[in-house]
Structure 1
Amino acid sequence: MISVANLAYIAGLFDGDGAIMALIEKHSEKKFGFRVRVILKVTQKNPEVLHWIQKTTKLGNVVSNRTTNEWILRNQIEILEFLKQMVRFVRIKKKQIIIAIAILQKPVKNQNDLVNIATLADSLASFNVRSKNRRKNFITSISVN
């Protein structure tokens, strides 16, 4: 269990340097041909704080890129539990967390469920500055197929 103080600190880092992304990818083994995934990231130049997040939460991995480092969490069950703990502490990304939780909690039982999740994924992507001009339109991807 993560302490309240540490959750609040991580929430501040996440509000400033974090991202929540939803992806809907083609996947031949899934009933409706698509897999829904949420990914969390915190980006920093110095990896020290990212290793601290990993150690404190016992979640995710730290990855080094050319000029930055990222703490990345991909496990869907862990993401859901982590977001549920953190939602009360964030300020800037609260709406995004609520959308991500809705995506993660919605089972895909039929094509309509998949379309609803794609709509949520598109709304989540609209919050991410870097993906506004180059993001996929998930609802179109699903409707075409």
Structure 2
Amino acid sequence: MNVIKESEKAYIAGFLDGDGCINAQLVRRSGYRLLYQIRVSITFFQSSKRHWFLLQLHKRLGCGSVRKRNDGISEYCIVGIASVSAVCEQLLPYLRLKRRQAVLICTIIKSLSRHQSKEDFLSLCELADQISFLNNSKKRSNTACLVRKELDLLFPVETSDTKVGDTSSG
């Protein structure tokens, strides 16, 4: 991410507060040990009449991609831990409406690990649920509850009588 002046950070944060979204999605991934990825993103929206503005913002921030949708809206989307973290850290002091989402995203990013436990991952999924609630998400189908159900099937709770993978019938 490029170095940005403080006044530009304040302006971009205001734009994000008004015409943007900070999001964490639970995305099912085959081959992932815990079945899901937490995908973090920051998206700015604008009428395609002002697509040029998002291109300028993209050039200024130096990460992400810009596209025109079929509904007359253009979006500038920043996806991934490194880029989202860099943008969030720079804009956080200036955010008002989306401050709580940014704090939660930063918490998720700092806590993510390739080798984390099921319970630690589920705690991060619950933070993603909180972000979704703050964003008033309506279409969301993958929730921490669904992830927990699927992971409980994959990794049953061990008891003193059985161990994971024990197929003996006693």
Provide TM-score, normalisation by structure 2: 0.79
Partner of 2:19: 17
Secondary structure of 1:37 counterpart: strand
**Distance in 2 (alpha carbons) for counterparts of 1:106 and 1:29:** 21
Moved over 6 A (4+): none
Aligned-residue offset at 1:137: 4.7
**1:1-145 correspondence runs (5 A):** 1-45=3-47, 46-66=50-70, 67-108=72-113, 109-129=116-136, 131=137, 133-145=138-150
CA RMSD of aligned residues (A): 1.3
The one-letter code matched in structure 2 to 1:90 is L
* Deviation per residue, 1:73-116 (Å, 9 max, x gap): 01321111110111001111111100011111112410001110
Q: Residue 102 of structure 1 aligns to a residue in which SS?
A: helix
Determine the C-alpha separation between the residues in 1 that align with 2:142 and 2:36.
14
Between the aligned partners of 2:74 and 2:112, the Cα distance in structure 1 is 33
Q: Which runs of 5+ in 1 are unaligned?
A: none
Distance 1:32 1:137 in 2: 14
Structure 2 stretches lacking a partner, 5+ long: 151-170
Cα deviation for residue 30 of structure 1 reads: 2.3
2:46, 2:60 → 1: CA distance?
17
Quote the sequence identity (%): 24
Q: Which has the larger radius of gyration?
A: 2
What one-letter code is carried by the residue in structure 1 that aligns with 2:53?
A: V
- State how far apart, in whole Å, the 1-side matches of 2:58 and 2:106 are: 21
- Please tell me whether the aligned partners of residues 122 and 137 of structure 1 are also in contact (alpha carbons under 8 angstroms): no
28-37 vs 59-68, which deviates more? 28-37
Q: Secondary structure at the match of 1:49?
A: helix
